[in-house]
């Protein structure tokens, strides 16, 4: 039976590098933000390449989630799914989430906002996804009766082997050294939006060093940052160390 792993992240994290890491395992196949087309069509929000994503993606969330719980590979035991938390809109039923081994990738909201503001000049706290991430975390905790694993991007960058080994142990799967290095370049599994968002990650062959951001947040986004912090701090306390 296929093991289905759902990694829930907000934007401007190391989620695509994490996708590279998992795809490089010999036992894993992956998908990249499967609910993105539905999200863009439903919200009407302006993102780079919006029309192309909607045209070429699946916009029916029922079809998407059906595939997520039913799709199998003949020679791969694990199906790793990279999800953006804000793509899980309120109209999408949650039952399918219980069929996944869920885990959560967090990042300091200051770093998220500094990065995100370079891609979009206007956004709201909903676009950052931290509130939705905590809601999904609470939902998974409730239905499973235990807390799902949480990892912080800073910890991954500072000690990828240690954190990935611990994550795999929590998910009850083996760790592979191949998760630490991967070939440079684009992937067939990259979303078509990669040309707008993945410029840095396609040049990588491993997780980079952690570099603290010393810039100040634009005052326009200061309130968003303040509202994000309590959610981040709660999840940060529960992270794998």
- The CATH number given to whatever domain includes residue 163 is 3.40.50
Lowest-confidence segment of 53-62, 63-72, 190-199 by average pLDDT: 190-199
* 3-state DSSP helix/strand/coil % of the chain, to nearest 5: 50, 10, 40
5-44 per-position pLDDT tens digit? 999 999 999 999 999 999 999 999 999 999 999 999 999 9
Burial 103-125 (b: 16+ CB within 10 A, else e): bbbbbbbbbbbbebbeeeeebeb
The mean per-residue pLDDT over the stretch 171-178 comes to 98
The mean per-residue pLDDT over the stretch 166-177 comes to 98
* Averaged pLDDT score across all residues of the chain: 96
What share of the chain in percent tops pLDDT 70? 100
What share of the chain in percent tops pLDDT 90? 90
Q: Where are the beta strands (DSSP E) in the chain?
A: 3-9, 28-32, 78-84, 101-106, 150-152
Provide the residue range defining the domain that includes 117: 3-237
Tell me what pLDDT residue 112 has.
96
Per-residue pLDDT for 121 more than 90?
Answer: no
The mean per-residue pLDDT over the stretch 181-187 comes to 95
Q: Which two tokens stand for residue 41?
A: 């069509």
pTM for the model stands at 0.96
195-227 per-position pLDDT tens digit? 888 988 999 999 999 998 889 999 999 999 999
CA angle (86 as vertex; 45, 23 as ends), nearest 5: 110
Q: Place 120 in a pLDDT band, splitting at 50, 70 and 90.
A: confident
Specify whether the CB–CB gap between 163 and 239 falls below 8 A: no
Q: Which two tokens stand for residue 50?
A: 């919006």
The mean per-residue pLDDT over the stretch 74-86 comes to 95
The mean per-residue pLDDT over the stretch 65-74 comes to 92
The mean per-residue pLDDT over the stretch 119-147 comes to 95
Strand 28-32's sheet: what is its strand order? 28-32, 78-84, 3-9, 101-106, 150-152
Tell me what pLDDT residue 200 has.
87
CB count in 10 Å sphere of residue 27: 15
134-162 per-position pLDDT tens digit? 999 999 999 999 999 999 999 999 999 99
Specify whether the CB–CB gap between 112 and 217 falls below 8 A: no
Tell me what pLDDT residue 77 has.
96
Per-residue pLDDT for 74 more than 80?
Answer: no
Domains: count for the chain? 1
The SS3 assignment for 113 reads: helix
Per-residue pLDDT for 231 more than 90?
Answer: yes
């Amino acid at each position: 039976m296929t093991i289905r792993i759902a990694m829930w992240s907000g934007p401007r994290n190391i989620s695509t590098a994490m996708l590279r890491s998992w795809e490089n395992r010999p036992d894993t196949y992956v998908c990249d933000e499967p609910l993105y087309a539905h999200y863009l069509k439903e919200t009407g929000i302006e993102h780079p390449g919006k029309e192309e994503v909607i045209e070429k993606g699946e916009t029916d969330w029922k079809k998407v989630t059906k595939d997520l719980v039913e799709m199998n590979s003949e020679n791969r035991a694990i199906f790793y799914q990279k999800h953006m938390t804000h793509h899980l809109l309120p109209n999408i039923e949650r039952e399918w989430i219980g069929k996944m081994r869920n885990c959560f990738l967090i990042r300091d909201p200051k770093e998220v906002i500094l990065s995100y503001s370079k891609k979009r000049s206007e956004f709201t706290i909903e676009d950052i996804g931290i509130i939705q991430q905590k809601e999904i975390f609470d939902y998974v905790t409730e239905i499973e009766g235990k807390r799902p694993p949480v990892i912080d991007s800073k910890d991954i960058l500072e000690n990828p082997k240690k954190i990935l080994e611990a994550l795999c142990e929590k998910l009850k799967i083996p760790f592979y050294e191949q998760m630490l290095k991967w070939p440079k370049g684009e992937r067939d599994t990259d979303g078509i939006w990669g040309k707008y968002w993945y410029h840095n990650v396609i040049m990588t062959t491993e997780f980079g060093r952690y570099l603290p951001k010393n810039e100040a947040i634009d005052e326009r986004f200061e309130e968003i940052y303040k509202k994000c912090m309590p959610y981040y701090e709660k999840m940060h306390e529960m992270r794998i160390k």
